[in-house]
Copies of this chain bind each other. A is one copy, B any other.
Amino acid sequence: MKHNFGAGPGILPQEVLKQSAEAVINFNGTGLSILEISHRSKEFEAVLDEAVALVKELFEVPEGYSVLFLQGGASTQFAMVPYNLLGDGQKAAYLESGVWANKALKEAKFFGEVAVVASSKEANFTFIPKDYEIPADAAYFHVTSNNTIYGTQLHQFPKSPVPMVCDMSSDIFSRKINVADFGLIYAGAQKNMGPAGVTLVIVKNEILGQIERKIPAMLNYKVQIEGGSMYNTPPVFAIYVSMLTLNWIKAKGGVEAIEQDNIAKSRALYAEIERNPFFKPVAATEDRSHMNVCFVMENPDNEKAFLKLCDEKGIVGIKGHRSVGGFRASIYNALPITSVHVLIEAMQEFAEKNK
């Protein structure tokens, strides 16, 4: 039994894996694999329709928004967002809360001016900047909702005078959000929604088509909307697994129930980090993520031994990102609280042995 704390591609529900494996052999009784059916078959069209409907249902997506399943990851969105929304001579506002936010704003500079409204770079991104002003003449305002590497999360979205664009790659469907607050939401699937290879986009239709630029078809949200995410062959299997995962979330009681579970998991783990004299947290208290819990050891010499103990207990994927060091426990939706308990016990056992 493994306890998968990997930062992403991350843990998926066991029942989703089981159904996915079955569909690789025989999809829905068609006698064909999900890997070899036409994306234009009625069976796959039903999968895509269901995935879109589940996104709308789970997030209560209002009228006037489109839901897309695209390829290329959040990194492609870093360019696609300004390609579609940032006209020549216009300015976009970015909050720099981590390396991914930084990569996003660098891509925007290919298309127009970028105003960084605030940054926590000097503090190695251990907190989320607050008390900044969003320029009212910006084409849009871009935020990253959760910063995987540093274990910080935006618990309160700012009021934005311009369309707010949000990279939710590492906390999509982990908590309730108000879609109407956003102009565009995007997320690589591979943390809470499915396997690597598909990217969710939820976009308010009226913010599109406002600029003059000619946009290649695959990078044009309007083309993708018209094609119903099938302008070209979509990533069939990744969409199928996402549909199953969205159904799993629904069966768990939806994002509100999931959010309670995630809060319980992160509270339990943070409590141990605070209590245990061998460990200390990385992120600022008020910005602690419910998805990625980053911590280091009081004595870094102990880290190798603790990692070994984790390995013995089947705890995997817990090594911190090289830019932070220490440990990162990613506790995505599909990670059961029992796995968190196993980690806490390992921390206690380590402290006991080494006191």
Q: Which of A8, A36, A190, A219 has the most chain B CB atoms closer than 10 A to its own CB? A: A36
The residue from B1, B36, B241 contacting A31, defined by CB atoms under 8 A apart: B1
Chain B nearest Cβ from A10, distance in angstroms? 6
Contact indicator A2/B235 (Cβ below 8 Å): no
Contact indicator A21/B25 (Cβ below 8 Å): yes
Once bound together, how far apart are the Cα atoms of A237 and B240, in whole Å? 13
Q: A residues 260-304 with Cβ under 8 Å of B?
A: none
Once bound together, how far apart are the Cα atoms of A319 and B79, in whole Å? 38
Of A67-75, A90-98, A157-165, A247-255, the stretch lying at the interface with chain B is A67-75
Copy number in this complex? Answer: 2
Once bound together, how far apart are the Cα atoms of A74 and B190, in whole Å? 23
Once bound together, how far apart are the Cα atoms of A30 and B316, in whole Å? 10
Mask: chain A, 100-125; 1 = CB below 8 Å from B; 0 = not: 00010011001000000000000000
The residue from B9, B71, B216 contacting A71, defined by CB atoms under 8 A apart: B71
Tell yes or no: A28 within 8 A of B by CB. no
Contact indicator B37/A234 (Cβ below 8 Å): no
Tell yes or no: A326 within 8 A of B by CB. no
Contact indicator A32/B8 (Cβ below 8 Å): no
Q: A residues 196-215 with Cβ under 8 Å of B?
A: 196-198, 214-215
Once bound together, how far apart are the Cα atoms of A18 and B35, in whole Å? 11
Q: A residues 1-51 with Cβ under 8 Å of B?
A: 1-2, 4, 6-12, 17-18, 20-22, 24-25, 30-33, 35-39
Contact indicator A236/B25 (Cβ below 8 Å): no
Tell yes or no: A62 within 8 A of B by CB. no
Contact indicator A2/B31 (Cβ below 8 Å): yes
Contact indicator B35/A25 (Cβ below 8 Å): no
Q: A71-B76, A75-B218, A76-B218 are in contact. Are A237 and B36 (CB under 8 A)?
A: no
Tell yes or no: A186 within 8 A of B by CB. no
The residue from B107, B195, B317 contacting A35, defined by CB atoms under 8 A apart: B195
Once bound together, how far apart are the Cα atoms of A10 and B35, in whole Å? 8
A-B contact pairs, 10 of them (CB 8 A): A2-B32, A17-B36, A24-B24, A35-B195, A39-B196, A73-B218, A79-B219, A106-B217, A196-B236, A197-B198
